[in-house]
């Protein structure tokens, strides 16, 4: 039986993950962690998740409960996730990272830590979104020399802290890599005033924040006379929770290495 720890256990994603774990007999919640000072520390982790008592109290320190885990799933914050990565690396425990917004230096640190343990780092845990990554790559390959402009639009709930979303940035990187461009030089994240004609190699990435939208992403390929749109819409966080658990199961038996969800789903 796979024993899973959850960081960010009382948050929206943490509760959804715990609910999914409780519903599957082949896995077990082994630990639950929240930030120091949280009012949820000390209570049974099943209570915030709405699935009754699970016999696992929420802790303030991953280091004190890591020995009970085979794999840790972390959807907390950048700072706390980096700490989780250090703890998992030093203890040889697998880690699934669903937190987004890492900069290049932070991603490099995670890559280094993955030399001592196995880590899945993904901008999005959804099966559908990871298929979207593949479809966008193939569409870009076909259209990159055919005078198509490429724009990415994403919409999320008002509580999301980073923008553009990690998924939108991953999509932008997929497009830029396929076209052989440096994303930092061609990405446009806002337009105002007399901007002039759209540069040929620009990749637009627009973030919208409104209400309780779980996550919508659209990649538009526009030419003179026609337009292609590839869209994914998430209706529930359940899809991300299920993907995170699939990733945790993928890491079972793996000793080290950095993976993403396309590795997990074998759709690269």
Q: What is the CATH number of the domain that holds 200?
A: 3.30.360.10
Distance, first Cα to last Cα, the chain = 28
Q: Of 3, 109, 137, 160, which is the active-site residue? A: 160
Residues 230 and 244 in one domain: no
Residues 108 and 156 in one domain: no
Mean pLDDT, each 10-residue run in order, the chain (268 residues): 97 95 96 94 96 95 97 96 98 95 94 98 93 97 97 96 93 98 96 94 98 97 98 94 96 95 92
- 53 catalytic residue (yes or no): no
Q: Of 156, 217, 232, 242, which is the active-site residue? A: 156
pLDDT value at residue 217: 98
Residues 169 and 187 in one domain: yes
Closest by CA to 17, choosing from 75, 64, 57, 84, is 75
Residues 115 and 163 in one domain: no
Number of compact structural domains in the chain: 2
Residues 116 and 8 in one domain: yes
Residues 146 and 47 in one domain: no
pLDDT value at residue 178: 98
Backbone angles phi, psi at 249, to 5 degrees: -70, -35
For residue 150, the cross-strand partners are: 203, 221
Q: How far apart are CA 125 and CA 141, in angstroms?
A: 24
Residues 6+ apart with CB under 8 A from 237: 12, 13, 16, 214
CATH number at residue 96: 3.40.50.720
- 217 catalytic residue (yes or no): no
pLDDT value at residue 123: 85
Residues 27 and 69 in one domain: yes
State both tokens at 213: 């939208």
Q: How far is CA 190 from the centre of its chain?
A: 23
Structural domain span for residue 198: 127-234
Residues 99 and 131 in one domain: no
């Amino acid at each position: 039986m796979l024993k899973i720890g959850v960081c960010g256990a009382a948050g929206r994603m943490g509760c959804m993950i715990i609910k999914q774990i409780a519903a599957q007999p082949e896995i077990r919640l082994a630990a639950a962690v929240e930030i120091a000072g949280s009012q949820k520390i000390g209570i049974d982790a099943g209570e915030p998740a709405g699935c009754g008592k699970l016999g696992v109290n929420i802790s303030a320190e991953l280091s004190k409960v890591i020995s009970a885990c085979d794999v840790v799933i972390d959807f907390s914050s950048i700072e706390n996730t980096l700490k989780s990565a250090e703890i998992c690396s030093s203890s040889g425990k697998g880690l699934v990272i669903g937190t987004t917004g890492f900069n290049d230096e932070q991603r490099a640190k995670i890559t280094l830590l993955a030399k001592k343990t196995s880590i899945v780092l993904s901008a999005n845990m959804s099966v559908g979104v990871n298929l979207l990554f593949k479809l966008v790559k193939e569409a870009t390959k076909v259209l990159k020399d055919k005078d198509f402009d490429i724009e990415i639009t994403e919409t999320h709930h008002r509580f999301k802290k980073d923008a553009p979303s990690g998924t939108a940035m991953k999509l932008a990187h997929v497009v830029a890599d396929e076209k052989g461009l440096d994303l930092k030089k061609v990405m446009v994240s806002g337009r105002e005033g007399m901007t002039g004609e759209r540069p040929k190699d620009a990749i637009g990435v627009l973030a919208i924040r409104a209400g309780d939208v779980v996550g919508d992403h659209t990649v538009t390929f526009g030419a003179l006379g026609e337009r292609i749109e590839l869209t994914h819409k998430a209706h529930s966080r359940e899809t991300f929770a299920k993907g995170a658990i699939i990733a945790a199961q993928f890491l079972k038996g793996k000793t080290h290495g950095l993976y993403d969800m396309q590795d997990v789903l074998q759709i690269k």
